[in-house]
Amino acid sequence: MSTSKLDLGAGVSNTVKEPFPPGIPGQHGEASQFSRILALGSYFLSGCMAINASQFLGAPLYLVNENWYNAWIAFTKQSFGLLTTTMTQCWAPTVIRASGDSSVRGQLLKTADGNLLCNFPQRLVLIANHQIYTDWMYLWYIAYTAGMHGRLFIILKESLKRIPVLGWGMQLSQFIFLKRNWEKDKPNMAEHLQKLNQAADPMWLLIFPEGTNLAPDTREKSQAYAEKRGIRDMYHQLLPRTTGLEFCLQQLRQTVGYVYDCTIAYEGVPRGEYAQDIFTLRAAYVEGRPPKSVNMYWRRFAVSSIPIDNPKAFEVWLLNRWYEKDNLIEYFHRNGRFPADFGIETTPSGKTRRGAGYIESEIKSFRWYEFMQIFAPIGLIGLVLYSFYGSLPGNVLKAIGDKVGAAEQEQSQIQQPQKKPLTAPPRPASGIAAKKAPKLPAKRTPPRQAPAKATIPLKAAPAANPTKQPTTNPAKKPQPKNKQAATPNPPKLDVKRALPPTAKKPALKPAAKPAVKPAATKVASDAKSETSTAPKKLAPRPKPNPAVLKSTTAKAAAPKKVEKNA
Measured distance CA(510)–CA(513) in Å, rounded: 9
In DSSP terms, which residues pair with 265 in a beta bridge? 295
Q: Which of the pair, 438 or 262, is modelled with greater confidence? A: 262
Measured distance CA(238)–CA(97) in Å, rounded: 23
First to last CA, the chain: 141
Whether residue 502 has pLDDT greater than 90: no
- CB–CB of 88/66 below 8 Å? no
Whether residue 234 has pLDDT greater than 90: yes
pLDDT of residue 379: 87
Whether residue 265 has pLDDT greater than 60: yes
Q: Give one word for 114, left, alpha or beta, with left for phi > 0 and alpha for psi -120 to 50.
A: left
Asked if the peptide bond before residue 291 counts as cis, ω within 30 degrees of 0, the response is no
Nearest to 170 by CA among 245, 90, 84, 93: 84
Q: Which phi and psi angles does 128 have, rounded to 5°?
A: -155, 155
Q: Give one word for 302, left, alpha or beta, with left for phi > 0 and alpha for psi -120 to 50.
A: beta
- CB–CB of 290/280 below 8 Å? no
pLDDT of residue 402: 80
- CB–CB of 19/268 below 8 Å? no
Nearest to 47 by CA among 165, 129, 148: 165
Burial call 179-213: b when 16+ CB within 10 Å, e when fewer: eeeeeebeeebeebbeebbeeebbbbbbbbbbbeb
pTM for the structure as a whole: 0.67
Q: Which phi and psi angles does 73 have, rounded to 5°?
A: -65, -40
Q: What is the pLDDT of residues 98-146, one digit of tens each?
A: 999 999 999 999 999 999 999 999 999 999 999 999 999 999 999 999 9
* CA dihedral sign of residues 328, 313, 130, 253: positive
Ranked by mean pLDDT, the top range of 5-9, 121-125, 543-547, 549-553 is 121-125
Q: What is the dihedral of CA 497, 500, 501, 503, to 10 degrees?
A: -130
Instruction: Show Cβ contacts of residue 45 under 8 Å, excluding neighbours closer than 6 positions.
Output: 165
Q: What is the pLDDT of residues 394-411, one digit of tens each?
A: 676 677 778 778 877 777
pLDDT of residue 400: 76
**CB atoms inside a 10 Å sphere around CB 453:** 11
Considering only 236-245, 409-418, 503-512, which range has the smallest mean pLDDT?
A: 503-512
- CB–CB of 470/541 below 8 Å? no
> Mean of the pLDDT values across residues 473-482?
49
Measured distance CA(448)–CA(497) in Å, rounded: 51
Q: What is the pLDDT of residues 273-294, one digit of tens each?
A: 999 999 999 999 999 999 999 9
- CB–CB of 171/51 below 8 Å? no
Nearest to 501 by CA among 539, 541, 538: 541
pLDDT of residue 65: 93
Measured distance CA(6)–CA(466) in Å, rounded: 157
- DSSP SS3 for 14: coil
Q: Which phi and psi angles does 340 have, rounded to 5°?
A: -140, 160
Nearest to 181 by CA among 215, 211, 207, 160: 211
Measured distance CA(211)–CA(271) in Å, rounded: 22
Q: How far is CA 439 from CA 414, 436, 445, 554, in A?
A: 12, 9, 19, 70
